[in-house]
A and B are shown apart, each in its own frame.
Chain A
Amino acid sequence: DTAVSQTPKYLVTQMGNDKSIKCEQNLGHDTMYWYKQDSKKFLKIMFSYNNKELIINETVPNRFSPKSPDKAHLNLHINSLELGDSAVYFCASSQGTYGTQNTEAFFGQGTRLTVV
Chain B
Amino acid sequence: AQKITQTQPGMFVQEKEAVTLDCTYDTSDPSYGLFWYKQPSSGEMIFLIYQGSYDQQNATEGRYSLNFQKARKSANLVISASQLGDSAMYFCAMREGDGGYNKLIFGAGTRLAVHP
* A residues whose Cβ falls under 8 Å from a Cβ of B: 31, 33, 40-45, 48, 50, 55-56, 58, 88, 90, 92, 94, 96-107, 109-110, 112
| Size band of the interface chain B makes with A | 20 to 34
B45 within 8 A of partner (CB): yes
Q: What 10 new A-B contacts, CB under 8 Å, besides A100-B98, A101-B33?
A: A31-B102, A43-B91, A45-B104, A56-B102, A56-B103, A101-B52, A103-B33, A104-B35, A106-B47, A109-B44
Q: Given A41-B108, A48-B103, A106-B47: A100 and B32 within 8 A (CB)?
A: yes
The answer to whether B98 touches A55, judged by C-beta atoms less than 8 angstroms apart, is: no
Residues of B within 8 A of A103 (CB): 33, 95, 102
Question: B97: nearest residue on chain A (CB-CB)?
Answer: A99
Question: A33: nearest residue on chain B (CB-CB)?
Answer: B103
B106 within 8 A of partner (CB): yes
Residues of A within 8 A of B31 (CB): 98-100
